[in-house]
Structure 1
């Protein structure tokens, strides 16, 4: 259980671009990058890791992952969409992210969706996910320790089992998300 607590303490669950952190004025690309660097600084794996780059944002724009910007400035809605893209791209392909956000983008561009309300709902779910993760990590850590109890080099074996278990859990969640994306794509094909 101690290992799980150490991991949880070292993770920055609270790192997020919050609506109140987003200025009420439109931002240039360098300002958007700085906002993300500041918001996610504690969650970097390596100090020189880049959270977001101009190239990434330009590729998202070219790939139509968010609706077009005006006068090279990014609105609050663009920043919230970029935050969603940033979170999703670690588990889904860029094409899947585009599929997922397509309807949200259209509604936000047409001002048919209060994107801030939607984004706040996402952040609320994220908070609950952190609690579920903590409980699951503690359980997986305990189970890994039980599996190797009394074995030689049990600490290393326990760590490898825990890593393998976490990767498996991650894969299960990713595959579930991909299934939902595939259902969205099928629904779009039959509706289009």
Structure 2
């Protein structure tokens, strides 16, 4: 198994909360955390890291990142939005995530917006990204292996290369957040 395949396997990028994984009944916060732990716990870097905590969920609610909860229970829509937050929080600030999700939250409150349809589209994109990641990793690995460097230096070069791409993707996402904000101001 190549380094790229090993990394892709450990990251388990295809792991996600599918719509069918979300119970039809509303869940209490502890149940939401259990659902996220069941899906994402194997993708954590170490045991000290947490997938989701009560504090995180409370901060998302206070920050109005998703529609208000009712009777301390989280609906299927809440869980879908929390999963979107979970996916974006590694690259974007909470402020940017709020800007991204605000139009969806507004649509859910004022229109007949089907979050489920949007979420299914997101899952398809996420699964496609997981497949593309392995191919991109292999490309980075080949480029690094072609450099005249010892094994440790090659590992450092691979880390630097991946960090560089991560920054490029994050900055591209931030530019798109700014564009979304400008569009919202113009309407």
* C-alpha distance in structure 2 between counterparts of 1:45 and 1:182, whole Å: 31
Matches within 5 A, 1:26-37: 26-37=26-37
* C-alpha distance in structure 1 between counterparts of 2:90 and 2:43, whole Å: 13
Deviations 1:49-105 (A, max 9, x none): 211111100100000000101111100000000000111111001010000000101
Residue of structure 1 equivalent to 2:166: 170
CA contact (8 A) 1:15 1:42 kept: no
- Unmatched runs of 5 consecutive residues or more in structure 1: none
* C-alpha distance in structure 2 between counterparts of 1:48 and 1:20, whole Å: 29
* C-alpha distance in structure 2 between counterparts of 1:73 and 1:4, whole Å: 41
TM value normalised by structure 2: 0.96
Residue of structure 2 equivalent to 1:39: 39
Q: CA deviation at 1:5?
A: 2.0
Matches within 5 A, 1:77-88: 77-88=77-88
2:5 counterpart of 1:11:
no
Q: CA deviation at 1:48?
A: 3.4
RMSD of aligned residue pairs (Cα, Å): 1.3
Ranked by relative contact order (alpha carbons within 8 Å, sequence separation 6 or more), the top structure is 2
* C-alpha distance in structure 1 between counterparts of 2:184 and 2:143, whole Å: 42
- Deviant stretches of 4+, over 3 Å: none
* C-alpha distance in structure 2 between counterparts of 1:54 and 1:173, whole Å: 29
Q: CA deviation at 1:119?
A: 0.6
Residue of structure 1 equivalent to 2:96: 96
* C-alpha distance in structure 1 between counterparts of 2:158 and 2:48, whole Å: 27
TM value normalised by structure 1: 0.93
2:187 counterpart of 1:187:
no
* C-alpha distance in structure 1 between counterparts of 2:124 and 2:33, whole Å: 24
Count of aligned pairs between the two proteins: 187
